[in-house]
Copies of this chain bind each other. A is one copy, B any other.
Amino acid sequence: MDLLVVGSVALDTISSPAGEREEQLGGSAIYFSAAASYFSPVRLVGVVGDDFPWDRVDFLRARGVDLDGLETAPGRTFRWRGAYPEMGDARTLSTELNVFQAFRPEIPQAYRSSPVAFLANIDPDLQLAVLDQLEEAELVACDTMNFWIDSRPGRVFDVLGRVQMAFFNDAEVRSLAGEGNLPKAIRRVHAAGPQVVVVKKGEHGALMSHEGSLFAVPAFPLTEVRDPTGAGDSFAGGMMGYLRSRNVFSSQTFKEALIYGTVMASFAVEEFGAEALMDLKDRQIQERAATLVGMISLVPQGNYAKRSP
């Protein structure tokens, strides 16, 4: 009864104002699993090449991530090379899909009854193929990217018609809906299917729409950001992991999950790759969650401003 993620596993070469990293472990399924593992056991479906350094995922196994669905295909692992001239402004320098090009996700029999699943940003046709294999899903969320929105919007809408929850960034939801106004764009996504629409806005936080209501959470106020890669997948991991752990899918738990998604994304971007998600203490997660709740809390504090001299 675990949380299933289907996505990419990659070796990323990154440069940001904070430094450079060669072939660090990355990919949507890695960030998602690492973040979600603090809340729920996770089952990962993905593909790597025969060059994959398996010791790099030992920390995920140790954290309760089932990697039986991570298959090895002949060839090289997916590689991505990106730069952040400014934080938040990602530029792809090169993409080598390698074994990911021919990835046809086969959900292991033992995983098909997963009640909660996340379809990370992969070809919408593959997302649909995964949906066909899920037998008892109660809450399925999808992510996507501008590449699919621009090239195959119809298939993205087909996916939306079969999931309960969708993740976008600000630009993606406007682009998919063909509507510059965010509230209207969100309405169009709801009309396509999902009851829950989450819009990630990077340093401006996130917005969630559910049952006619919006809920807004600011970004966690970080003083250092080293590598924004994986922020969105860590966000989704925190959110879906929390929802899986509660196993109640209500307005209240969706809101709480948005807080935990924001917290996990904040940890992810503080260090290169998934480093910061390897060994967090529950206390650290709860402290950030409390800070975020405080940032949107109107409860009286009783502190009176002093008149300055």
Contacts and interface: CB of A to CB of B under 8 A. Distances in A.
A65 to B, nearest CB: 26
Interface string A284-309: 00000000011111111111111110
Interface in A122-173: 138-139, 162-164
Interface in A79-110: 86
B252 A210 contact: no
A301 B218 contact: no
Nearest to A181: B223
Interface residues of A, number: 57
Contact of A248 (B224, B250, B255, B304): B304
A60 interface: no
A221 B216 CA distance: 11
Interface of A: 86, 138-139, 162-164, 180-184, 193, 195-196, 201, 203-205, 207, 210-211, 213-218, 221-225, 248-252, 254-256, 259, 293-308
A300 B293 CA distance: 14
B213 A294 contact: yes
A195 B306 contact: yes
B182 A203 contact: yes
B301 A250 contact: yes
B205 A305 contact: no
A214 B221 contact: yes
Contact of A193 (B293, B295, B308): B308
Number of copies of this protein chain within its complex: 2
B250 A215 contact: no
A137 B59 CA distance: 59
Nearest to A298: B255
Given A216-B296, A252-B298, A256-B298, A184 B305 contact: no
A70 B8 CA distance: 64
B305 A210 contact: yes
A164 B308 contact: yes
A93 to B, nearest CB: 23
A305 to B, nearest CB: 4
B216 A295 contact: yes
A250 B304 contact: yes
B305 A195 contact: yes
A301 B303 CA distance: 29
Contact of A183 (B193, B222, B297, B300): B222
